[in-house]
Amino acid sequence: MSRILVFNAGSSTIKLGEFEHGATGLKRLGRGVLDLRLAPLVLDFRDAAGQTRVPIAARPSDDLSEVIAELLVWLAGREAGGEIIACGHRIVHGGMAFDAPVVLDDIAIEKLDALAPLAPLHQPAGLRLVRAMRKARPGLPQIACFDTAFHRSHDPLVTRMAIPRALHDAGVRRYGFHGLSYQFIAEELQRTEPALAMQKIVVAHLGSGASLCALQNGISRDSSMGFSALDGIPMATRPGELDAGVLLYLMQQQGMDADEIQHWLYHDCGLKGVSGISADSRVLLQSDAPEAAQAIELFCFRIARGVAALANTLGGLDGLVFTAGIGEHQPPIRARVCQHLAWLGVDIDATANAENKRVLDSANSRVFVRMLPTDEERVIAEAVARLVH
DSSP string, 159-176: H--SS-HHHHHTT-S---
- Residue 80 pLDDT: 61
Secondary structure of residue 45 in the 3-state scheme: strand
336 CB-near residues (< 8 Å, 6+ apart): 296, 297, 300
Secondary structure of residue 323 in the 3-state scheme: strand
- Residue 11 pLDDT: 67
With 0-12 / 13-18 / 19 or more C-beta atoms within 10 angstroms meaning exposed / middle / buried, residue 367 is buried
CA distance 131 to 138: 10
Secondary structure of residue 127 in the 3-state scheme: helix
* Total length of the chain: 389
- Residue 37 pLDDT: 80
Element (H, E) at 243: none
Contact 54, 43 (CB under 8 A): yes
DSSP assignment, residue 258? H
With 0-12 / 13-18 / 19 or more C-beta atoms within 10 angstroms meaning exposed / middle / buried, residue 195 is exposed
Helix then strand then coil, % of the chain, to nearest 5: 40, 25, 35
DSSP assignment, residue 85? E
Kindly compute the dihedral angle of the four CA atoms of residues 361, 365, 368, 372, in this order, to the nearest 10 degrees: -20
pLDDT digits (tens, 9 = 90+) for 250-308: 999 999 999 999 999 999 999 999 999 999 999 999 999 999 999 999 999 999 999 99
- Per the DSSP assignment, residues forming a β-bridge with 214 are 202, 222
- Residue 241 pLDDT: 96
* Helix segments in the chain, DSSP class H: 65-76, 106-113, 122-136, 156-159, 165-169, 179-192, 194-197, 244-252, 258-267, 270-275, 281-286, 290-314, 324-329, 331-340, 350-354, 376-388
Maximum distance among all Cα pairs of the chain, rounded to whole angstroms: 63
CA distance 84 to 201: 38
CA distance 196 to 176: 23
How many helices, marked H, and strands, marked E, lie in the chain? Answer: 16, 13
Contact 22, 381 (CB under 8 A): no
CA distance 117 to 94: 12
- Per the DSSP assignment, residues forming a β-bridge with 223 are 213
Q: How many CB atoms lie within 10 A of CB 350?
A: 11
Indicate which residues carry an active-site annotation. 147
Identify the segments of the chain with pLDDT beneath 50.
none
